[in-house]
């Protein structure tokens, strides 16, 4: 199984993600620079966190026009799993692969803290090993993480079961406490918290197993033995 980790100027969680994929879950992962293309035989793509292009103009908006995004869009149309974490989520939204927008946190401050997610959809390639309403202790680290949609889009998200994660409490003012969503087909998932920072017991002071299930779900989706 080959997983691509897309790297943009300003990405800073790409190595963390690569470490988790290769050293923790023993997957064949490769970095792909944003100016290059993705291979046709790729099995999953991850857009990691960071500050692509220094968050100029708006977080993720410049990276959303990088050459590699056309390949990500084609891969998504084929049903191949795509995960965007933090800045990766912002890029997926700005590129039109996911609905909504990420705004500045309600506090107008950068937030770096532990929180809890609630699993709202366990049918995606990244949540199929969870129970509904399962709690995930996980860190956030963002300044523009407040998810927003209008009432009409929110209605569609609920109808299509596109809300994947919610915060267990109000964190940054996100609409309906939404922390992650998926596309209508369910194969493209974006989330603001950082699972790659929570899967190892050495750096997770609470419980690393729930975050691990995000990656174990991907293994199950692809038929790879854990």
CB 184 within 8 A of CB 147: no
* Radius of gyration of the chain from its Cα atoms, rounded to whole angstroms: 16
Q: CB under 8 Å to 182, separation ≥6 — which residues? A: 98, 121, 124, 162, 164, 188, 189, 190
Strands, DSSP E only, in 23-169? 28-33, 44-47, 82-85, 101-103, 111-119, 135-142, 146-148, 163-167
Catalytic residue ranges: 86, 194, 196
| Dist CA 103 CA 90 (whole Å) | 9
């Amino acid at each position: 199984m080959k997983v691509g980790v897309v790297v943009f100027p300003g990405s800073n969680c790409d190595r963390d993600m690569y470490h988790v994929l290769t050293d923790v879950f023993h997957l064949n992962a490769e970095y792909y620079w944003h100016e290059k293309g993705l291979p046709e035989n790729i099995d999953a793509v991850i857009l990691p966190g960071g500050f692509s292009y220094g968050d100029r103009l708006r977080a993720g908006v410049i990276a959303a026009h990088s050459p590699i995004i056309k390949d990500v869009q084609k891969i998504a149309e084929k049903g191949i799993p795509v995960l965007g974490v933090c800045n990766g989520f912002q890029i997926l939204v700005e590129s039109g692969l996911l609905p909504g927008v990420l705004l500045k946190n309600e506090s107008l401050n950068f937030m770096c803290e532990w929180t809890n997610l609630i699993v709202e959809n366990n049918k995606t390639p990244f949540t199929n090993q969870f129970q509904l309403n399962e709690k995930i202790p996980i860190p956030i680290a963002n300044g523009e993480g407040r998810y927003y949609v209008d009432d009409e889009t929110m209605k569609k998200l609920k109808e299509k079961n596109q809300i994947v994660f919610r915060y267990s409490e109000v964190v940054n003012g996100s609409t309906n406490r939404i922390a992650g969503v998926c596309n209508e087909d369910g194969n493209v998932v974006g989330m603001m918290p950082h699972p790659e920072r929570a899967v190892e017991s050495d750096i997770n002071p609470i419980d690393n197993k729930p975050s691990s299930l995000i990656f174990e779900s991907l293994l199950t989706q692809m038929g790879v033995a854990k």
